[in-house]
Chains A and B, each alone.
Chain A
Amino acid sequence: MAQYDFKKITVVPTGNDLIDIVLSRTQRQTPTVIHKGNAISRVRQFYMRKVKFTETNFTDKLSKTIEDFPRVEDIHPFYGDLLHVLYNKDHYKLALGQLNTARNLIKRIREDYVKLLKYGDSLYRCKSLKRAALGRMCTVTKRIGPSLAYLEHVRQHMARLPSINTGAPTILICGCPNVGKSSFLNKITRADVEVQPYAFTTKSLFVGHTDYKYLRYQVIDTPGLLDRPLEDRNIIEMCSVTALVNLHAAILFFLDLSGSCGYSISQQAALFHSIKMMFRNNPVLIVCNKTDLQTLEGLSGEDLKLVMEMKSAALDVLLTMSTITDEGVMAVKNAACQRLLDQRSERKMKSKKMPTVLNRFHVAMPKPRDQKERPVCIPQAVLEARAEEAAHEERKTEKDIENENGGAGVYSASLRKHYILADDDWKLDILPEFLDGHNVYDFIDPDILQRVEELEREESAVEEDGGDFEIEDEDFTAEAEKDLQEIRKRKKLLIQKHRIKKSTAESRPTVPRKFDKDRKFTTERMGRQLSSLGIDPSRAIERARSRSVSRKGRKRERSVGGDGEDEMEIDGGLDNKKKLRLRSRSIEGFKDSAQKMKAVTMARNATKKRNKDARRGEADRVIPTLRPKHLFSGKRSIGKTDRR
């Protein structure tokens, strides 16, 4: 028997909402652009697609709703009756029928208009056809608006119905209003139903669950029943009647002995007898509640007789309890559960399937052959070993040693003790890891010494050879060495001179040799240079002198005569000119170089004193203003001013 879940029904949109949904879907999910210029087949296709799409959506949504809602005939009669009681079966069916009709209508509209669209001859006509089709579908939907609204209502209510498993063992609680049915439910289950002093506090069915002998029982609390004919019952009472009639359950009829519910025992008895026929095969238990107010024994004779009558009708099952004092509550529950269990087992046993199942079971119990005793068998060796172990002394473990020596942080176990070595003395050796920048472990080899010896032999052999070498005589004699040094020195000097010449080239004038003011190019010089090269210069000097200008000048003097005065005159006259010409540029302003030298010395002497006094001279740098304003004040247009 399935458990119905009415919570999973999809929301039923209202008429207008449905129209909006479907049309907006069409708008979004179909292409939207079409032009007059497109081929007519394309135009037709475009509009047909829209019509079909709309129809499909409507149909889908309506079909979904129709299928989601349960068909009253197909479900368990309890739910069928409940639905009828709550929502009026006819109205319900009508609403669903209307939805179905609408669906069919929409389908027909689509077929018609698609046929028409096939022959649409212009964009405008196709468009109008599509508009008409969609419009008609929407009108149909608008007409079923009220049905949709009703179904939505029903859906919301159905979702809140208690989920009653029609196949599970159930206990049904019924009786007059206010007798204590809901309080009993609260006591035995975890349900938290409202309990109030006024009648009809419970307006619908409530379900709780309880356990008994590893089985789960449903306990259903019903609204109170009044003694009325069936036709006059209101919806609330009809709920409980439905439950009574359709559910297979153990029925607990509650009696209020004290009459504080507002109904006397006779009224309650009358009710009982009127609904007796609804019980059918269900096990019935009469439960007398509120014994704290009025016990069974304390009843008046008449009441007692009525109660006894009821008891006899219920197969002699009468229980008393009080929900306030918890007296007998559990007993009632157990009794009810037990009775139900018994009935169900009986039924199962009687069912047609039972023999087939029973045939498959067979529990075999071996018959004892004889009265011999056969105990457990343990081999002797094992027994001995066990005995030995028990007698064996406890040896000292590493942990004990650790604890002796100060515990975990203080003592660390020496793992070297258990090393397996050729000689036990070696256990505590300190092993070096590095030596001279090498890893010792990389060199370990049992025959390392051998190989080292080989190496050493190799080395010595190589040494004896001395190797192949070429002896070259010192090809340089002392003289040659000296010459080489000279050459190198000379080269360096040349380079230096050239460098000076290069660096001063810009400031030095290039003067032809005839204006040689420093008198560099003399024959003495030439003579010296030539002799340093190892050549006799005398001939060269002669030749040079013979061709010089001054020589020629002297010749003229001699031819004139040896007169001293004449000589002097000529000399003087010529000398002056010569002297003018011959005067070097470096002796500018002075008579001769001697005079210049004197002048230079005088200048030097003059400055000596001043320098000794360490006074500022003309050549010394002067800062006229030590703190010029423009450097020491003012803000900068860009940048920081943290340095001045």
Chain B
Amino acid sequence: MNSASCAAKISTQPFSLNPTSPASHDRPLVSPKPASLFLGSTRKLRLSSSSKLNLHRRSGTVVAVSDVVKQKKSKSTHSLLITKEEGLELYEDMILGRAFEDMCAQMYYRGKMFGFVHLYNGQEAVSTGFIKLLKQQDSVVSTYRDHVHALSKGVPARAVMSELFGKTTGCCRGQGGSMHMFSREHNLLGGFAFIGEGIPVATGAAFTSKYKREVLKEADCDHVTLAFFGDGTCNNGQFFECLNMAALWKLPIVFVVENNLWAIGMSHLRATSDPQIYKKGPAFGMPGIHVDGMDVLKVREVAKEAIGRARRGEGPTLVECETYRFRGHSLADPDELRDPAEKAHYAARDPITALKKYLIENSLASEADLKAIDKKIDEVVEDAVEFADESPVPSQSQLLENVFADPKGFGIGPDGRYRCEDPKFTEGTAHV
């Protein structure tokens, strides 16, 4: 089976393919090399992707989908993974994410956007691959790198751009900002600035789905939650606490790790004792999968499986997506620590180019179709900017609004109405 052949490749591969440099991830699997050559020396890692892909062992009951897919793609006659409509939908979503983020960079440097802005360029395959499989009632919880998650989930580009400009027509009326995108309608629960903060919140949303089904007796409630977070977060205590509780209570959640190898300037390998994050899943009793996050079709296959598991009530899954961000951590990051060779390596694996190639090679779409989509998205993004530009800034009265859901903050009386509306409440006496 796959795993047997993988195992065979694990011990031989690095020697033959990488004669000049020490091993990368597979430190525990090969004969020990001096640690000093490896730790902190990020230049030597991330070589050919094929050696990387064959190294991971699958854990849990999920099939090694990404290898299967990879082998399928190399054959000339095989069934296609997507239909034309799906392909175009995926392409459009990724182009929207890319064009939007590029426009954000432009707007930031022109002073229209301010504060902390974290762009998602290069990681679109993860967002599109996962979120396009969700229903509207399913939830997505993200980190500060949330613009594209919002767009994939269905929040209009206009609303996101206005929010970034700080205008009152934004999805949070300008009160949240780049890092705090919330949408009740699209079930986007943020947008959290503290890494690791979104994971328990996502677990809670999954908990509610189960609670609604079991206690509130909404028998068909099968909402799934996706929690997106990065490699740095996987060293945080809350991550482990939630893996434990999600597996313990069998919650309908998928933990999606967007492993882009860098937490601002801290390389994942310098920060983590065992860099293979997917292995942490089985430690808590859930399957852990590693997938090539630069390939939207592979991500989509894995996502289908994981989301299906959650929907059927079989519990959580941990999916590690190997991906890369083309830009710095944020627009204020000079991005000096990353090796240009590494960046070039991943730029060559641009998910959008890969999907485009796939669609054209398999005759699912023509160049003209794709160019039309490019043009359409350009217009959408330009329109979003215009809309945001023309929108008004929040009025002064908005400053003090919405601190509490209960308008004056005095609670609800026994008759179920707001206390502050009760004339007796505001009269002289302090007694009840």
* B is bound to A: no
